[in-house]
């Protein structure tokens, strides 16, 4: 919590104002029973109607004042909490945007999304509740006790008995119920898991005639959940009655002892009535305070999760004085590059050296985990090498600014991802200022023009979030267009043709040949057909280069390459 406190700093004054208002409101609440006692003890006893009306008027003013205070307090606390949430959200989002893949993958996409949405909302709600209730309750508690003492010290001893009793009862129930609540959540998750598996596996389940089995599995989870839910609710059932009984029995005790005090002339009836109300205020605020113990742990989990992100500093930073890259060109050179993913035992790449220049197509092939995508990630400086160096146009990528480096690169990732917006805005993602003509040209080269023309709205057709309204192959073509419109010096196609059928794949590659003619092109692929024509094929195996050369050369010299080729083509197609 402490770390997040400085986000509250700009709102310190408003927060203090909110607390002040709440404090005043508490005072007004405490003052009312005193005034009532006055009505009884002075007004009624003396039969003074004028006094009663006067005090009544004061009571009204006090009540109105209290209400205005609480509304003012609410206004301020709403602004403070929302402002705090906004600032925190912005900082968190900005921090995540600064993350390189290393930090980003440490948390995972899903987790980062929850942290920046749900967790912040939780903390914001907590702050609001804290300012609105958690502060007033202890105040009320203390104020109530003071007022009770001021009425009658002797009688206040009843409170000393009542408070611990109530607290103990509530704590006991809470301690029993809280673990059960967690258990219930687990069982609910289990039920959801079974159901989700059922939905995703529906074809397999029906194909293997296992519907009955799945039904039983669901039933078991259901039974389990129901049993726990019944238990939880039965324990919770005791909570309110126990609290109410404690309150009520305290009242009875107070009247009993109070009547003795009155009998001995140490107390007036109005005092007793006021006293009763104070005790109620005290006990109610006690119940509110006990809520703290439920809410604080929940919020603190969120706080910790937010802090983890804020505490993570991206490792990849721009150098203080970035060196400008050499003349435009796009020459890429790997010098003895070795890289290990954090936490991994073995390096993902080791001793990688090669160089590629404009006008050349370099293909990278190898099995899963051979380090193909890592190579791309290093070129883009999503990670920094452990040893060796990567040079682009003669400058070490670590000495350039990330912006300038990436400006040179058109990257098509393995998983094509589209943003919500129009088709055109997705292509323009690659180059902000691209003209309509340039966008169209890129789409044509990526063989996307035809299907775009078929969309309602053409280039202005809406892409839904996550690109769910276009097929995998269409997504991939738009992703290629996005890279093309950038007119970069270096292209990286990371398995970018996998969702295309043979025919489109061939057409795209033919068109690309023209479009990318003056650039340095890297093609990472699984299909031999895609890489066969490259100027240079790099065969990766277990993070090392086991062969560099053309298709023909490698067929002769590289056993791993031959194996890959054989698994995909029949003998006669190889030649």
Partner 1 sequence: MSERRQGQQQRGFFGRGPAHGLAMPVEKPKDFKGTVKRLAGYVKPRRHLLVIVLLMAALGTAFNIVSPKIMGLATTSLFDSFNSGSRVDFAYIRQILIALGGLYLLSSLFHYAQQYIMAAVAQHTVYDLREDVNAKLARLPLKYFDGHSHGDILSRVTNDVDTISATLQQSIIQLITAAVMLVGILVMMLIISPLLTLAASVVIPLSFLVTRSVATRSQKYFARQQKVLGELNGHVEEMFTGHILVKAYGREKESLQQFQEINEKLYDTGWKAQFISGTIMPLMMFINNLGYVLVSVCGGILVTRGAISIGDVQAFIQYAKQFSQPISQTANIFNILQATVASAERVFELLDESEEIPDTHGAEIRNSRGEVRFDRVRFGYKEGEVLMENLNIEVSAGQTVAIVGPTGAGKTTLVNLLMRFYDVDGGKITVDGIDIRHLKRESLRSIFGMVLQDTWLFHGTIRENIAYGRPGATLEQIIRAARAAHADHFIRTLPGGYDTVLDEEASNISQGQKQLLTIARAILADPAILILDEATSNVDSRTELLIQKAMQRLMKGRTSFVIAHRLSTIRDADLILVMHKGAIVEKGTHRELLERGGFYAELYTSQFAGRNSA
In the range 529-548, which residues lie near partner 1 by CB under 8 A?
529, 532-533
Q: How far is the CB of 82 from partner 1 (least distance, A)?
A: 4
154 versus 336: smaller Cβ distance to partner 1: 154
Which segment (138-146, 157-165, 346-354, 414-422) binds partner 1 by CB under 8 A? 414-422
Tokens standing for 32?
């009312």
409 strand-pairing partners: 490
Q: What is the DSSP string of 241-272?
A: HHHHHHHHHHHHHHHHHHHHHHHTTSS-HHHH
CA distances 211 to 205, 218, 221, 333, Å, are 6, 11, 15, 57
Q: How far is the CB of 44 from partner 1 (least distance, A)?
A: 5
- Residue 457 lies near partner 1 (rule: CB under 8 A): no
- Residue 411 lies near partner 1 (rule: CB under 8 A): yes
Find the binding residues for partner 1 in span 158-177 (CB under 8 A): 174, 177
16 versus 464: smaller Cβ distance to partner 1: 464
Find the binding residues for partner 1 in span 176-215 (CB under 8 A): 177-178, 181, 188, 191-193, 195-204, 206-215
- Residue 259 lies near partner 1 (rule: CB under 8 A): yes
- Residue 344 lies near partner 1 (rule: CB under 8 A): no
Find the binding residues for partner 1 in span 476-505 (CB under 8 A): 482, 486, 498-505
Nearest to 429 by CA among 47, 416, 263: 416
| Separation of alpha carbons 210 and 215, rounded Å | 9
156 versus 373: smaller Cβ distance to partner 1: 373
Find the binding residues for partner 1 in span 51-80 (CB under 8 A): 52-53, 55-56, 59-60, 63-64, 66-67, 70-71, 74-75, 77-79
Nearest to 180 by CA among 140, 139, 223, 233: 233
Q: How far is the CB of 242 from partner 1 (least distance, A)?
A: 7
- Residue 89 lies near partner 1 (rule: CB under 8 A): yes
DSSP-based three-state secondary structure for 349 = strand
335 versus 507: smaller Cβ distance to partner 1: 507
Among 226, 308, 387, 469, binds partner 1 (CB under 8 A): 226
Find the binding residues for partner 1 in span 389-408 (CB under 8 A): 402-403, 406-407
Nearest to 274 by CA among 387, 151, 186, 183: 151
Give residues with Cβ within 8 angstroms of 508, minimum separation 6.
446, 447, 477, 480, 497, 500
Tell me the H-state helices in 446-532.
449-454, 472-484, 502-515, 528-531
Q: How far is the CB of 202 from partner 1 (least distance, A)?
A: 5
Q: How far is the CB of 506 from partner 1 (least distance, A)?
A: 5
Find the binding residues for partner 1 in span 313-342 (CB under 8 A): none
334 versus 497: smaller Cβ distance to partner 1: 497
* Residue written as token pair 């060196």: 323
User: For residues 200 and 319, is the Cβ–Cβ distance under 8 A?
Assistant: no
User: For residues 48 and 42, is the Cβ–Cβ distance under 8 A?
Assistant: yes
Tokens standing for 205?
């389940």
Tokens standing for 28?
């007004």
Q: How far is the CB of 80 from partner 1 (least distance, A)?
A: 9
Q: How far is the CB of 194 from partner 1 (least distance, A)?
A: 8
| Separation of alpha carbons 306 and 1, rounded Å | 10
Find the binding residues for partner 1 in span 97-126 (CB under 8 A): 97-101, 104, 109, 112-113, 116-117, 121
């Amino acid at each position: 919590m402490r770390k997040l406190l400085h986000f509250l700093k700009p709102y310190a004054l408003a927060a203090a104002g909110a607390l002040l208002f709440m404090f005043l409101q508490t005072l007004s609440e405490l003052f009312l029973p005193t005034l009532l006692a006055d009505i009884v003890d002075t007004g009624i006893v003396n039969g003074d109607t004028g006094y009663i009306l006067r005090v009544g008027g004061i009571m009204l003013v006090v009540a109105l004042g209290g209400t205005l205070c609480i509304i003012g307090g609410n206004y301020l606390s709403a602004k403070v909490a929302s402002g705090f949430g906004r600032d925190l959200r912005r900082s968190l989002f900005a921090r995540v945007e600064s993350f390189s893949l290393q930090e980003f993958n440490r948390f995972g996409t899903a987790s980062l999304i929850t942290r920046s949405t749900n967790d912040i909302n939780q903390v914001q709600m907590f702050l609001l509740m804290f300012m609105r209730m958690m502060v007033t309750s202890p105040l009320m508690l203390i104020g109530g006790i003071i007022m009770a003492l001021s009425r009658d010290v002797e009688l206040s001893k009843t409170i000393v008995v009542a408070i611990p009793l109530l607290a103990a009862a509530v704590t006991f129930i809470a301690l029993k119920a809280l673990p059960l609540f967690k258990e219930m959540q687990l069982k609910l998750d289990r039920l959801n898991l079974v159901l989700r598996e059922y939905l995703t596996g529906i074809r397999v389940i029906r194909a293997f005639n296992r519907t009955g089995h799945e039904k039983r599995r669901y039933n078991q989870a259901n039974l389990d959940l129901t049993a726990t839910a019944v238990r939880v609710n039965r324990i919770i059932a005791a909570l309110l009655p126990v609290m109410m009984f404690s309150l009520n029995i305290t009242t009875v005790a107070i009247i009993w002892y109070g009547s003795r005090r009155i009998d001995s002339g140490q107390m007036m009836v109005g005092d007793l009535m006021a006293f009763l109300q104070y005790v109620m205020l005290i006990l109610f605020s006690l119940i509110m305070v006990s809520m703290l113990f439920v809410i604080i742990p929940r919020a603190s989990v969120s706080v910790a999760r937010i802090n983890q992100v804020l505490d993570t500093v991206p490792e990849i930073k721009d150098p203080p004085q970035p060196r400008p890259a050499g003349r435009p060109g796009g020459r890429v050179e790997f010098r003895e590059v070795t890289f290990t993913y954090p936490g991994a035992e073995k390096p993902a790449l080791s001793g990688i050296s090669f160089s590629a220049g404009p006008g050349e197509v370099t293909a990278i092939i190898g099995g899963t985990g051979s380090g193909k995508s890592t190579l791309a990630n290093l070129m883009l400086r999503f990670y920094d090498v452990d040893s060796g160096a990567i040079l682009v146009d003669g400058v070490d990528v670590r000495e350039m600014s990330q912006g300038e480096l990436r400006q040179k690169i058109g990257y098509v990732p393995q998983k094509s991802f589209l943003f919500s917006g129009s088709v055109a805005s997705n292509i323009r993602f690659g180059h902000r200022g691209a003209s309509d003509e340039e966008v169209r040209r890129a789409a044509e080269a990526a063989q996307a023009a035809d299907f775009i023309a078929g969309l309602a709205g053409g280039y202005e057709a809406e892409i839904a979030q996550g690109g769910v309204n276009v097929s995998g192959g269409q997504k991939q073509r738009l992703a290629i267009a996005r890279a093309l419109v950038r007119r970069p010096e270096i292209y990286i196609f990371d398995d970018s043709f996998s969702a295309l059928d043979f025919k489109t794949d061939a057409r795209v590659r033919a068109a690309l040949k023209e479009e990318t003619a003056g650039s340095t092109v890297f093609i990472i692929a699984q299909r031999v057909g895609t890489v066969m024509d490259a100027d240079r094929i790099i065969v990766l195996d277990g993070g090392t280069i086991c062969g560099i050369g053309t298709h023909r050369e490698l067929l002769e010299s590289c056993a791993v390459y031959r194996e890959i080729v054989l698994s995909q083509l029949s003998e006669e197609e190889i030649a």
